[in-house]
Amino acid sequence: MERSMTRDANTMRACLRLYLVTDPLLCAKAGLLHTVREAIAGGISMVQLRDKTATTEERIAIGRALMRVLHGTGVPLIINDDIDAALAIGAHGVHVGQSDLTPRIVRERMGPSAIVGLSCETVAQAAAADPLLVDYVGMSPVLATPTKRDHAAALGFTGLEAARAATTLPAVAIGGMHLEHVTRVMRTGVDGIAVVSAVCGQPDPRAASLALRQAIDEAVRDMTHPRIPNALTIAGSDPSGGAGIQADLKTFAAQRVYGMAALTALTAQNTRGVAGVHVVPPVFVLQQLESLFDDIRIDAVKIGMIATADIATTVADVLEERMRGPVVLDPVMIAKGGAELLRPDAVDAVRTRLLPLATVITPNLAEAAHLLNMPMASTRAEMETQATLLRALGPQAVLLKGGHLTEERSPDCLVTSDGVHWFDGPRVATANTHGTGCTLSAAIAAGLAGGGNLLTVVRTAKQYVTDAIASAHRLTVGHGHGPTHHFHNLWNR
Query: Is 119 one of the annotated binding-site residues?
Result: yes
Largest Cα separation within the chain, whole Å, is 83
Number of Cβ within 10 Å of residue 149's Cβ equals 7
- 474: number of Cβ within 10 Å: 12
Of these residues, 183, 313, 436, 439, which one is catalytic?
A: 436
- Write out the residue limits of the CATH 3.20.20.70 domain(s) in the chain: 3-224
Q: Is 234 strand, coil or helix?
A: strand
Active-site residue (options: 438, 439, 447, 450): 438
Question: 302: which residues sit within 8 A by CB, 6+ positions away?
Answer: 231, 232, 233, 234, 235, 248, 327, 328, 330, 441, 442, 444, 445
Q: Supply the pTM of this predicted model.
A: 0.61
Establish whether 81 is an annotated binding residue.
Answer: yes
Residue 313 falls in the annotated catalytic set = no
Q: What pLDDT does 148 receive? A: 56
Question: CB of 208 within 8 A of CB of 196?
Answer: no
User: Known binder of ligand: residue 113?
Assistant: no
- Alpha-carbon span 491 to 493, nearest angstrom: 6
- CATH 3.40.1190.20 in the chain, residues? 230-474
User: Is 433 labeled as catalytic in the residue annotation?
Assistant: yes
Per-residue pLDDT for the chain (493 aa), expressed as one digit of tens each? 444 444 678 899 999 999 999 999 999 999 999 999 999 999 999 999 999 999 999 999 999 999 999 999 999 999 999 999 999 999 999 999 999 899 999 999 999 999 999 999 999 999 999 999 999 999 999 997 765 555 578 899 989 999 999 999 999 999 999 999 999 999 899 999 999 999 998 999 999 999 999 999 999 988 777 778 999 999 999 999 989 999 999 999 999 999 999 999 999 999 888 899 999 999 999 999 999 999 999 999 999 999 899 999 999 999 999 998 899 999 988 655 555 667 778 889 999 999 999 999 999 999 999 999 999 999 999 999 999 999 999 999 999 998 768 777 778 999 999 899 999 877 777 777 788 899 999 999 999 998 888 999 999 999 999 888 888 788 889 888 888 888 888 886 5
Contact 65, 59 (CB under 8 A): no
**How confident is the model at residue 216, as a pLDDT?**
95
Domain 230-474 has CATH 3.40.640.10: no
- Render pLDDT for 371-403 as a digit per residue (tens, 0 to 9): 999 999 999 999 999 999 999 999 999 999 987
CA dist 166 and 98 (Å) reads 17
Mark whether 401 is an active-site residue: yes
Among candidate residues 433, 439, 466, 484, the one labeled active-site is 433
Among 15, 401, 416, 466, the one annotated catalytic: 401
Best CA proximity match to 48, nearest among 199, 166, 248, 233: 199
Query: Per the annotation, does 277 bind a ligand?
Result: no
From the list 437, 447, 451, 482, the catalytic residue is 437
| Annotated binding-site residue? 49 | yes
pLDDT at residue 338, as a whole number: 52
Q: Is 80 annotated as contributing to ligand binding?
A: yes
Active site residue 462: no
222/235 Cα distance (integer angstroms)? 28
Q: How many CB atoms lie within 10 A of CB 271?
A: 22
Is 437 annotated as catalytic?
A: yes
CATH architecture under which domain 3-224 falls: Alpha-Beta Barrel (3.20)
148 is in an annotated binding site: yes
Looking at residue 468, its pLDDT comes to 87
At residue 264, what are phi and psi to the nearest 5 degrees?
Answer: -105, -25
Question: Is residue 193 a contact partner of residue 172, using CB atoms and an 8 Å limit?
Answer: yes
196 is in an annotated binding site: yes
At 3 the pLDDT is 43
What does the alpha-carbon distance between residue 155 and residue 143 come to, in Å, rounded to a whole number?
7
Q: 435 an active-site residue?
A: yes
> Is 146 marked as binding a ligand?
yes
* Per-residue pLDDT reduced to its tens digit, 413-428: 999 998 999 998 777 7
